[in-house]
Amino acid sequence: MSDTQATTHATAGIRETTEGTVYDVTGGDWDEIAKAVTSSDDERIIVNMGPQHPSTHGVLRLILEIDGETVTEARAGIGYLHTGIEKNLEFRTWTQGTTFVTRMDYLTPFFNEAAYCLAVEKLLGIEDDIPERAKIIRVLLMELNRLSSHLVAIATGGMELGATTVMIFGFRDREHCLDLYELITGLRMNHAFIRPGGLAQDLPPGAVDALREFVKKMRKNLPEYDALCTGNPVFKARLQDVGYLDLAGCMALGATGPVLRSAGLPHDLRKAQPYSGYETYDFEVPTVDTCDSYGRFLLRLEEMRQSLRIIEQCVDRLEPGPVMVGDKKIAWPAQLALGPDGLGNSLDHIKNIMGTSMEALIHHFKLVTEGFRVPPGQAYTAVESPKGELGVHVVSDGGTRPYRVHFRDPSFTNLQAMAAMCEGGQVADVIVAVASLDPVMGGVDR
């Protein structure tokens, strides 16, 4: 890039404010910014990174105060992806809620759905009535989802370092996960597949074979990340001792998930407060004590291996049976069936309610339009999402709609640790530190 171009590029994002000169970074222009910084006589410089910077995981805005290459203060500006999902939920039935929550952290849709449904089931008092097959498929989907979420974390993290092979590999393998989602739920994301009381439908024919094939393929592919990154001196140099947050920092800032486990504490809700039958599965909770980004990368890799183990156990355990509670006041009457257009009602069911059973028609109509009532009270459930503790606080006023639903999204809470991880470090390490938190703005902003 010639000097003249560089100057225009850099100056395009420079503004004089009452606080001093403000540089807007648009990506790939660190050289120019650094040059502008050295030629400036201003001691305190604020770099306003994002909200559209390619390496900020969506619309995250980082406000960095830098002194040369050192970040002296870092703050995050969020809210650019706020969609009012929690408010919207209050205007839909309890079942329709799943279509909204699945869109929160769009990389962990099954965790959002499962956490929400577990909370609704707790309020209804039907936790013990959920059929075994539904529980196994929930665990299966959540562990598949852990794989796809960690794959994106590693892939985008690699891309931000310039390791595009890691990115290609990560998205290649995530595609295998998405193919399975599509086969099982009909959709690649935003599934609304886990419903209060069970699942929207059963596994389609061929799913078990596809899952076994997938496990075999992933066992072959996962070591490639090891080969590419784990021992790679450049990768290690960029990640080791970067984004440092020790156990005291994690506890104070409420950081959970791989961030907490990278500080050596083996806290995992699947072991501590098991749900959906996790206590019956055989798996390990890996930890490292490096407190840094490299440790978090190793953890994600190991957690994916453990997820494969759980998926295998799920597939082995699957027995034919119902996937929805027996209570006809809660369960939707029809099992959805895959039609030529993707999703739809079972034609047999429509034939039954339209042709032979007036009562079934009324019942179907009431349950779908009006929904079921949930006794007044509140409940909190939490699941171990790939990012940490995903908590759901649900309040009912006894009506057919949620009175209040609050998601304690781990991305939101963990992102607070950004300042503690970045201040005092180098500008380039901010990217690595944020990537190791794996924030997804859909979850942060909701």
Partner 1 sequence: MTEANGNHPGGDEAAGSLPAQQEPGEIIGVRRGMFGANNGGDTSGYGGLVRTVRLPGASSRPYGGWFDEVADELEGALEEQGFVPENVIDKTVVDRGELTFHIQREFLPVAARTLRDDPALRFELCTGVSGVHFPEDRGRELHAVYHLRSITHNRLIRLEVTAPDADPHVPSIVDVYPTNDWHERETYDFFGLIFDGHPALTRIMMPDDWQGFPQRKDYPLGGIPVEYKGAQIPAPDQRRSYS
Question: Using CB under 8 A as the criterion, which residues of the chain lie in contact with partner 1 when the complex forms?
Answer: 78-79, 82, 84, 86-88, 90-92, 122-123, 125, 251-256, 265, 267, 272-273, 370-371, 375-380, 382, 389, 391, 393, 395, 397-401, 403-404, 406, 408, 412-413, 415-416, 445-446
Smallest separation (angstroms) from partner 1 to the CB of 46? 17
Query: Which of 86/224 has CB closer to partner 1?
Result: 86
Query: Which of 12/380 has CB closer to partner 1?
Result: 380
Smallest separation (angstroms) from partner 1 to the CB of 379? 6
What is the C-alpha to C-alpha distance for residues 150 and 301, in angstroms, rounded to an integer?
8
The tokens for 187 are 């959709």
The tokens for 282 are 């055989």
Query: Which of 286/402 has CB closer to partner 1?
Result: 402
What is the C-alpha to C-alpha distance for residues 428 and 66, in angstroms, rounded to an integer?
11
Smallest separation (angstroms) from partner 1 to the CB of 365? 12
Smallest separation (angstroms) from partner 1 to the CB of 159? 27
**E strands, 214-341, where?**
336-337
Query: Which of 136/444 has CB closer to partner 1?
Result: 444
Smallest separation (angstroms) from partner 1 to the CB of 102? 17
Residues for the chain: how many in total? 446
Query: Which of 254/322 has CB closer to partner 1?
Result: 254
What is the C-alpha to C-alpha distance for residues 54 and 57, in angstroms, rounded to an integer?
7
Query: Which of 409/438 has CB closer to partner 1?
Result: 409
Smallest separation (angstroms) from partner 1 to the CB of 171? 30
Query: Which of 363/404 has CB closer to partner 1?
Result: 404
Query: Which of 77/277 has CB closer to partner 1?
Result: 77
Query: Distance from CA of residue 320 to its chain's centroid?
Result: 30
> Do strands 45-49 and 20-25 pair parallel, antiparallel, or not at all (unpaired)?
parallel
Smallest separation (angstroms) from partner 1 to the CB of 73? 13
| Residue among 119, 98, 305, 115 at smallest CA distance from 185 | 98
Query: Which of 379/435 has CB closer to partner 1?
Result: 379
Write down the number of H helices and E strands in the chain.
19, 12
Taking CA atoms, 423 is separated from 22, 39, 74, 237, 360, in Å, by 19, 23, 6, 19, 63
Smallest separation (angstroms) from partner 1 to the CB of 231? 33
Query: Which of 176/261 has CB closer to partner 1?
Result: 261
SS3 at position 51: coil
**Residue 8 burial by CB count (10 A; 0-12/13-18/19+): exposed, middle or buried?**
exposed
| Residue among 268, 259, 270, 261 at smallest CA distance from 288 | 261
| Residue among 134, 260, 140 at smallest CA distance from 199 | 134
Smallest separation (angstroms) from partner 1 to the CB of 288? 18
> Do strands 14-17 and 344-345 pair parallel, antiparallel, or not at all (unpaired)?
unpaired
The distance in angstroms from the start CA to the end CA of the chain is 40
Smallest separation (angstroms) from partner 1 to the CB of 181? 27
Taking CA atoms, 228 is separated from 158, 180, 223, 367, in Å, by 10, 26, 9, 52
